[in-house]
Amino acid sequence: MATGERTAKAGAAAHHGERAQLRKDARAVLETGVTGLTVRVQDERRRSTTVRAGVADLRGNRPVPYDAHYRIGSDTKTFTAVLVLQLVAEGKLDLDDTVEQWLPGLVQGNGNDGSRITVRNLLQQTSGLANYTNLQFQSLETMKQDFLANRYTSLAPEERVKLAMTVAPEWLPDAADPGSETRWSYSNTNYVLAGMIIEKITGNSWEREVRDRIVKPLRLKDTFAPGTSARIPRPTATAYTKFPGEKRLTETTEQANAWSDGAVISTTADMNTFLRALLGGRLLPAGQLAEMKRTVPAEGF
């Protein structure tokens, strides 16, 4: 057998083995209670492997479409961070600028202080600010009712921040060097503020900046920020949520309750393209990509 043939067969066997392992992993995720999922992996040769498990809809038992549109949730934060770091690279913003410099008077009250929080704190989740999404529900017992009553209501960014200002922060970063803060707590408020800073600097909506700076250059044909729309394009898979105290799943596909912290809709193929471009240096200069990779300890996360 020629060397080329042996190499090709070995590569095909390895690819088959990877697909089998990926299917096994997808089934393992399914066993945690997920109703359906799609997984796509692309190797260094740009060969893509896509597998699916479960169903797209519990009522019809349709398989999950390989090209399903999903709400990517907090992966949206990576898009927002890219926009911020692009502005840093352009000299329009510094990671050590304070929130107060760009959004004066917005972060204040109940011990909150925007002059003690930098853009770096926002991106690294070290600001200490309360998570506004935790304050949207009256209690765990009413979470389902609160969601259903407000699923089509899209709060303005200022309203989201205002919610967070109703309580004291977990901490305030060091006044002398806030960017050195390493205490960490997940807060969607941080990325709402980042989105607002993007709008303040560019004069454009956050949604437009996502489109013009990321979606168009990378030709992501199935990726967009939906604005105030609660709809999601077909093909898709039905989203379900198990609310506290509930035995049954609740259909939650249509919702309009996120923004620069979690609103983007995409597909596994587009996300593959986005992440490859990001890590390959197509979206950020080396210095800003290095900043993105700087981390702080995140206990239990």
CA dihedral 132, 137, 141, 145 (to 10 degrees): -140
Is the domain of 190 the same as that of 251? Answer: yes
Q: How many CB atoms lie within 10 A of CB 288?
A: 21
Is the domain of 272 the same as that of 167? Answer: yes
Tell me, yes or no, whether 103 lies in a domain.
yes
Is the domain of 220 the same as that of 83? Answer: yes
**Active site positions, annotated:** 74
- What is the CATH classification number for the domain harbouring 149? 3.40.710.10
Tell me, yes or no, whether 301 lies in a domain.
no
Residue 36 main-chain phi, psi, to 5 deg: -170, 150
Distance (Å, whole) CA 280 – CA 272:
12
Is the domain of 52 the same as that of 167? Answer: no
Q: What is the pLDDT of residue 51?
A: 95
Is the domain of 279 the same as that of 168? Answer: yes
Is the domain of 203 the same as that of 242? Answer: yes
Instruction: Domain count for the chain, please give it.
Output: 2
> Whole-structure pTM over 0.95, yes or no?
no
Is the domain of 105 the same as that of 193? Answer: yes
Is the domain of 87 the same as that of 132? Answer: yes
Tell me, yes or no, whether 300 lies in a domain.
no
Q: What is the pLDDT of residue 141?
A: 82
Is the domain of 50 the same as that of 143? Answer: no
Tell me, yes or no, whether 196 lies in a domain.
yes
Q: What is the pLDDT of residue 9?
A: 47
Is the domain of 52 the same as that of 87? Answer: no
Per the listing, tokens 């004069």 go with 203
pLDDT tens string, the chain, 301 residues long: the values are 444 444 444 455 456 778 899 999 999 999 999 999 999 998 888 889 999 999 999 998 899 999 999 999 999 999 999 999 999 999 999 999 999 999 999 999 999 999 999 999 999 999 999 999 999 887 778 889 999 999 999 999 999 999 999 999 999 999 999 999 999 999 999 999 999 999 999 999 999 999 999 999 999 999 999 999 999 999 999 999 999 989 999 999 999 989 999 999 999 999 999 999 999 999 999 999 999 999 999 987 7
Is the domain of 52 the same as that of 186? Answer: no
Q: What's the domain range around 177?
A: 71-293
Helices (H), the chain: 3-30, 76-89, 99-102, 119-124, 143-150, 157-164, 188-202, 206-210, 216-218, 268-279, 286-293
- Whether the CA torsion 163, 165, 167, 170 is positive or negative: it is positive
Give the model confidence (pLDDT) of 164-202 as tens digits.
999 999 999 999 999 999 999 999 999 999 999 999 999
Tell me, yes or no, whether 299 lies in a domain.
no
The angle, 0 to 180 degrees and rounded to 10, between the axes of the packed helices 188-202 and 157-164 is 140
Is the domain of 22 the same as that of 97? Answer: no
